[in-house]
Structure 1
Amino acid sequence: MDDEAHILIIGSLRLKNGELVNALRKRYDVCFVASGKEALAYSAQRLPQALVLDAVSLRTPGIRICQTLRAQLGAVPILHLHPGPKDDAQSCADALLFAPITARRLLYSLNRLLNTHKEETLTCGPFQMNVTRRMLYARGQETQLTPKQTLLLEIFLRHPSQTHSRKTLMEKVWQTDYLGDTRTLDVHIRWLRQVLEHDSTNPQFLKTVRGVGYKLEIGDEGMGEPALELAAEMT
C-alpha cells in the first residue's frame, strides 16, 4: 500500500502527539479526532482509507463506537485497538489489536489491513466505491451497483473535476460512438445523482456541462451537509 494512505485515528487528545500516533505519521497521511462523532463529521468531507479506533486511550471497549462507524462508513476498514481481555472481546472491526500495543505491532497490523483492502476500494471526496463488489458508499448508506453503473461512476471517481463528453462516456461504458440516442446515458446519470446527491434535482457533485457532457465536482462548495443519522449514539 502507498505510504501516503490516508488514516483517521480516533483516540484521546492526550495521546495526539504520542509515540503510536507519531509512528503512524512517519509512514501515512494521518488525521486525529477525539470521538466517533468527530470521525463521522470528518469522513463526510473526506473518507479515510482506514480507521484506527484507539479504544485503549479512550478507556472503553469501543464496541458501540465501532458498530456506529461500521454502520455509517460501510466498507472503510477498521483497526480496533482493544483493551481486552481477549477471551471476552467483541468487535465488528476488520482487525483487532490488544493491549499492550507497541508501535511495531501497530504498524504491522495496519499495513496488513491496508494491503488486504488496497485493490478493493476507490475513494474520492465523500464517496467510496468497492470496484470488485460493485458497492458504493455515499450519504451514510451502501448501494449495490450494476456493472454499467460501476463503469460509469468509476470514470468520474478516477477523474474528478474533469469534463467527460457524452461521446467519450458512450464509448467507454457502452462501446459505441453512436449519439443518435443517448437516453441510456441520461438514465444512468439520473440514477447516479439519486444515490450521490442530497437533492438530485439540484446536483452539487455530478454536474452537467451544457453542450459537452458531465463532470464530478469535489470541493467545499459541493460537500453538502453530512449525514450523521447515528451521531447521537457516539461517545
Structure 2
Amino acid sequence: MSKKILIIEDDQSIAVLERDYLQIAGFQVEIASDGMDGLEKVRSKTFHLILLDLMLPKIDGFELCKMIRKETNIPILMVTAKSDDIDKVRGLGLGADDYIVKPFSPNELVARVKSHLAMYDRLMQTNESNSDIYIKDLHINTLSRQVFMKDKEVEFTNKEFELLTFLALHPNQVFSKEQIFERIWGLDSMGDNATVTVHIKRIRKKIEKDSANPQYIQTVWGTGYRFQG
C-alpha cells in the first residue's frame, strides 16, 4: 500500500504542484488549506508524513506543529519561504523533523519525503533484543522510544531521539556533522549542518548537567561529535 502524505498549505498553486509530483512518485496525497483543516485531518485520518507550511491562516505552522507532535510521531517536514535561521531553529524545537525552503525543485521535495519515510520505518523496526541502552545516569529504551535521566523520563522529538540513540550505540567514535546528517536525515548533498548543531544543543540541554561542559556528547573541535561511553 502506498504511503499517504498530508500537505498543509494555503497557496493552492504550490499545494497542487506538490501533490502532483508526490502522486507521480506513487504517494497518496491530501491537501488542507489552513491550520484548522490540517489539524482536523490529522485527528480523523491516518498519514505517514506531513508537509507543513509555516505561514498558515487560522493556526500558524509553528503552533500547528506543536499540536500535531503531541498526537503523533510521524515525520513533519516544514515548508517555508523564510530562510531565517531563527525560524528553522524554532520549528525544529517544536518537533519538526526537517525543513525545506521555497523555492525548491520537485525532485528535492520527493527525495526529502522518501528519505524521511525510510528513516521513520527503520526507527519503528527496532530490534526488541537491543531495546535498552544504559550509560551512566542515562537510560534509552529504543522499543518504547523513551529516555530517562536518573529514572526520570525526558521528552524527545523524533530526530532528537534517533540522533541520541545513534551516538549512544557508537560510544567513543567521532562523527562529522556531514556523517551525522547523512545517517539521521538520510541525505548528503542536501545537508544543512546547522540542523545537526541545533539538535545536539537541544539534546545536551536535556541530558547534561552543564551543557557548556558536556559529559555525554562531546565536541571534537574541527571534526565533529563523540559520545563518551
| TM-score of Structure 1 vs Structure 2, range by shorter chain | 0.3 to 0.5
Larger RCO (alpha carbons 8 Å, 6+ apart) = 1
TM-score by length of 2: 0.47
TM-score by length of 1: 0.45
Higher Cα radius of gyration: 1
